[in-house]
Amino acid sequence: MAETINVLVSEEEVDQKIRELGAQISKEYAGKQVHLICILKGGVFFMCELAKRITVPVTMDFMKVSSYGDATESSGVIRIAKDLDETLEGKDVIVVEDIIDSGRTLSYLLDVLAKRNPASMKLCTLLDKPDRRVKEVKVDYVGFAIPDEFVVGYGLDYAQKYRNLPYIGVVKGID
């Protein structure tokens, strides 16, 4: 059976929420520069749109951290596949993630990054699945809290498919 996608959060709702997050970050970091760290691959769609809506100076870097592979649930094994290109020393950092569910990956990653001595570090996610949390992480900026459904679109994928959808959709018909 082929999978189907049901819209959970529309393109317009995603766009509006990113505008709100950009305004909030701009206000909180007024007079400062913010360094965004995108968690690849899924976070790139969200970070690019968020960065366009932040009015203070922005720099950015990218990391690839994996705990999924092609599965729909975290394996629990966390691997840094691409590390940062720049130092975090003294920077006001916002880690930008597409989705947080179990919290394992972000908990590990935030511990690693904190040892690199940023001036401050916050976490921003487009989607939060609090019902899936097994490891607590403080999420400073949340786009949408969503139910425990497997979602795609706006950077999120199922076996590398559906990242390019302009909305967030629930996948049906996968094993």
Instruction: Determine the residue type at 111.
Output: D
pLDDT number for residue 50: 98
DSSP-H helix ranges across 42-147: 43-52, 104-114
Instruction: Determine the residue type at 56.
Output: V
What is the average per-residue pLDDT within 82-109?
A: 92
User: What b-and-e string marks burial along 125-152, b requiring 16 or more CB atoms within 10 Å of the CB?
Assistant: bbbbbeebbeeebebebbbbebeeebbb
Q: Which of 98, 101, 128, 157 is catalytic?
A: 101
pLDDT number for residue 65: 83
pLDDT number for residue 101: 87
Query: Cβ(8)–Cβ(168) under 8 Å?
Result: yes
The yes-or-no verdict on residue 19 having pLDDT over 90 is yes
Query: Tens digit of pLDDT for each residue in 41-81?
Result: 889 999 999 999 999 999 999 999 876 555 445 556 777 88
Distance from C-alpha of 130 to C-alpha of 90, rounded to nearest angstrom: 31
Domain architecture of the chain: domains with CATH = 10-149 (3.40.50.2020)
Pairing of strands 79-82, 58-66: antiparallel
The yes-or-no verdict on residue 1 having pLDDT over 50 is no
Query: Cβ(134)–Cβ(118) under 8 Å?
Result: no
The yes-or-no verdict on residue 10 having pLDDT over 50 is yes
Residue 101 known to be catalytic:
yes
pLDDT number for residue 81: 87
pTM of the model: 0.90
pLDDT number for residue 175: 59
Strand, coil or helix: what is 49? Answer: helix
Q: Which helix (H) or strand (E) segment is 107 a member of?
A: helix 104-114
Query: Tens digit of pLDDT for each residue in 70-79?
Result: 544 555 677 7
Query: Tens digit of pLDDT for each residue in 107-155?
Result: 889 999 999 999 999 999 999 999 888 888 999 999 999 999 999 999 9
pLDDT band at residue 159 using 50, 70 and 90 as cut-offs: confident
Q: Is the peptide bond before 41 cis (omega within 30 degrees of 0)?
A: yes
pLDDT number for residue 102: 85
Q: Cβ atoms within 10 A of the Cβ of 170, count?
A: 17
What is the average per-residue pLDDT within 150-173?
A: 91
E strands present in 2-152: 4-9, 34-40, 58-66, 79-82, 92-100, 120-128, 141-145, 151-152
